[in-house]
Amino acid sequence: MLAVLRRPRWIAYLLLAVLFGVATANLGLWQWYRHEEKVERRDLVEANYDAAPVPVDVLLPDPDGDFPGAAQWRRVEAHGTYRAGEQHLVRNRPHRGVFGYEVLVPLDLGDGTAVAVDRGWVRNAATAATLPDVPEPPAGEVTVSGWLRPAEPDLGRDLPAGQLASMDLDRLAGETGLTLLPGYVVLGDEQPAPPTRPELLEPPDTGLGSHFAYALQWWLTVPVGLVLVLVMARQTARDEAEEAGTLPRSEPRSRRVRIWDEEDA
């Protein structure tokens, strides 16, 4: 078998088998890293989501600062006045399998800064050219509690005034002239409660998916190519030895006689 494997064609087969093993090992690692990312996200959400709320300016003290990664889905509280005239609708947001808008309204904190509040989801209107009816936010002083989220990147789309393609806080600040904190609040509750409001958003998905199983599957296939080449090389060496007469030919297997064959005889 070693003599067979030293031939150029079989060396090429071995190299292909090694490349196949490297590729499947790396695919397994990629799935494993995806699994680890989801575990980390799940642990962060579970630690923050039901924690006691803290003032939003404790976690986001500097409007020019960066959003702290550990603050994602942290429950926060803020007091202020909604700037209803600066309301923006964020397009193409899914909710229970339906696309619509998320309603983003700045909350003036009274100290020269504001925090964007995602008040929930509304269904698309009958046509793309028509905006949906959106329940008004409470007037006057309001206490808001919800979960902190980082801004989303600018998608580079030109939209009509009052609409955003993503939770782009830089663009919202530019269009409203407000000094916004570097994160927005997904609304859970507001007091005083209005008679109607947009639909509450779903809690974050903490499922891990199938990445761990996929990683195991890829890793189990790592040696398959090499095993196939070795089996084929062994059989080739055996066939050549039988033809050269250095190895007795294998006896053909006797055909098993079935009951109905005996009856037909």
Q: Residue 166 corresponds to which amino acid? A: S
Using the 8-state DSSP alphabet, how is residue 199 labeled? B
pLDDT at 128: 65
pLDDT at 261 over 60: no
pLDDT at 19 over 60: yes
Q: Of the candidates 48, 52, 105, which has an alpha carbon nearest to the alpha carbon of residue 81? A: 105
Contact 164, 118 (CB under 8 A): no
How does pLDDT run across 28-40, given as a tens digit for each residue?
Answer: 999 999 999 999 8
pLDDT at 263 over 60: no
Q: 257 pLDDT band (50/70/90 cuts)?
A: low
12-26, 116-130, 205-219, 245-259, range with the lowest pLDDT: 245-259
Using the 8-state DSSP alphabet, how is residue 62 labeled? -
How does pLDDT run across 90-137, given as a tens digit for each residue?
Answer: 999 998 888 999 999 999 999 999 999 999 999 988 776 678 889 999
**What is the arithmetic mean of pLDDT over 180-208?**
91
